[in-house]
Amino acid sequence: MTPHAHSRPAWGEPPPGPIARLGRRLAGLLRGRPATGRPTALPELPLVLRRSAVAAPYLDAERRRDHPAAGAAAAAASERAIAAAEWWPADAWAHRALWHYEQAQMALEATHQARRIGDLRVAAGDPATARRYYAEAIDEARDIGAEREQGLAALGLGRAQLDLGDVTVARRLASAAITLLERSEAPAAEIDAARALLGTEVAVGEGTEEAR
């Protein structure tokens, strides 16, 4: 996996602030400040998103203060934007989904959404800011015993580190991901992806040498 050539987009929602709790096993990999927590309220949905075809179910759920439904509608809108490589709307919707899931105390869904924000930011060419969301997902997944989500977040963080040129840490995270994914009986494609990251090679001189 090579670094993305396109420039970093402007994100649709402000970042949630520093991570509340960095994963204990990964704390040495990242730098950050103690968290101040999530915002207590969301800003108004941007007009361009409010007028989009996917906004109606979200706005209805938001008016009813139905956090589970609003989270699901925002997550679905984010996934559609990710599929279309529309990174700004994808990020805006994903942050709303994360906030609503947290308000509803839906820990697994919130953990999944944090990971998806990491995924979309790596895909958009911004692995540096993706790392905070992967770290949060790893920490939360471990707390609730969601090993598959923890493994997928470790895999995503490994890919982000690889994009940033840190092959050693990327392979260490890949190894952890393999263990977690195998233990949770994740789909073979996910385990194979972690094994592919573990087998990453880097160029040395005119040949290649497996990273150690």
DSSP string, 116-165: HHHHHHHHTT-HHHHHHHHHHHHHHHHHHT-HHHHHHHHHHHHHHHHHTT
Residues 100 and 71: beta-carbon distance below 8 Å: yes
Report the alpha-carbon distance of residue 13 to residue 43 in Å, rounded: 9
Q: What is the pLDDT of residue 28?
A: 42
Report the alpha-carbon distance of residue 116 to residue 195 in Å, rounded: 20
> Does the global pTM surpass 0.75?
yes
pLDDT in tens, the chain (212 residues): 333 334 455 676 655 443 334 343 443 444 343 343 556 678 899 999 999 989 999 999 999 999 999 999 999 999 999 999 999 999 999 999 999 999 999 999 999 999 999 999 999 999 999 999 999 999 999 999 999 999 999 999 999 999 999 999 999 999 999 999 999 999 999 999 999 999 876 544 444 444 43
Question: Directed axis angle between helix 55-63 and helix 67-83, to 10°?
Answer: 160
Q: What is the pLDDT of residue 21?
A: 40
